[in-house]
Structure 1
Amino acid sequence: MPFTRIAVRAGKPATYRKALMQGVHLALMGVFKAPEDDQFMIVTEHDADNFVFGRHYLGIERSDDLVMIQIAVSNTRGQDQKKALFAQIAENLARDPGVRREDVFVNLVDVARENWSFGNGIAQYAT
């Protein structure tokens, strides 16, 4: 059920973008136990004028290679599991495609289960 948006600076090759999606999805499968075929992701590229971020916020030195990841998930996970997901995503992306851990920004959006429709106009998780 995760829905993932990944934003990067324009100019990254397709293999780089694919590795980002793969790294995030592997973390979601491993930590949140998302099924393998439960993959809904969008990667967007932005020029410098449309990709704004705090280069030093919280003492973290970010570069132009920052990757911003927002994941909407059902609100069924605790703080420890969320922390584990953040760490696993950073580890996966550091390994492939080689993103510095400082350049991995993740935001989880918890939503109620009844707020999902996976097709056919049906709220599949609503009870």
Structure 2
Amino acid sequence: MPFIRTHVSKSTSQQQRQAIVEGIHQALVSSIGMPQDELFNLVSSYEAEDFFYSRSFNGVTRSDKLVVIDISLRRGRSDAMKRDLYAHIAENLAVNAGVAKADVFIFMHENDYSDWSTGNGKFAMALVQQVAAG
């Protein structure tokens, strides 16, 4: 289950925020096989004067509308799957949310089942073990 934190410029409309969330979610579903009902995306906004970043890092020309996507998920995806995911996110946001591909900045944190509790204070590993035993 990925947990996403998406950071957008404060000027980003609610409609565009929704399109960004949907674009990220659909890329996760199609690229890494995430179940459709695993949607957890916390969107926050930043003021231009509070976010300092290079507008030319790695030869990419960025605007003042950078969208930062921080993905936490269980480890195990190949580099090829991650490349596909990143490409699909950028494409979805460009087509459906009007975000320039150069303004899509993604980073990922991988962890294990033991690093999650997804509800009721239960250790996620226990839920996985229950499924395997059933």
Q: Into which bin does the TM-score normalised by the smaller protein fall? A: over 0.9
Percent of aligned pairs with the same amino acid? 37
* 1:51-90 Cα shifts (integer Å, max 9, x gaps): 2211000110000111000000100101110111000000
1:1-127 superposed matches below 5 A:
1-126=1-126, 127=129
* 5+ long unaligned stretches in structure 1: none
Larger Rg: 2
In the TM superposition, structure 1's runs of 4+ consecutive aligned residues that sit over 3 Å from their partners are none
Q: When the two structures are superposed, what TM-score results if normalisation uses the length of structure 1?
A: 0.96
In terms of fraction of residues, the more helix-rich structure is 2
* 1:21-70 Cα shifts (integer Å, max 9, x gaps): 00000000001111111111111111112222110001100001110000
Pairwise CA RMSD: 1.0
Q: Secondary structure at the match of 2:28?
A: helix
Count residues with an aligned counterpart.
Answer: 127
Q: Secondary structure at the match of 1:73?
A: strand
Q: When the two structures are superposed, what TM-score results if normalisation uses the length of structure 2?
A: 0.91
| Structure 1 Cα separation of the partners of residues 25 and 104 of structure 2 | 15
| Structure 1 Cα separation of the partners of residues 14 and 94 of structure 2 | 17
CA contact (8 A) 1:32 1:81 kept: yes
Q: Which amino acid aligns with 1:8?
A: V
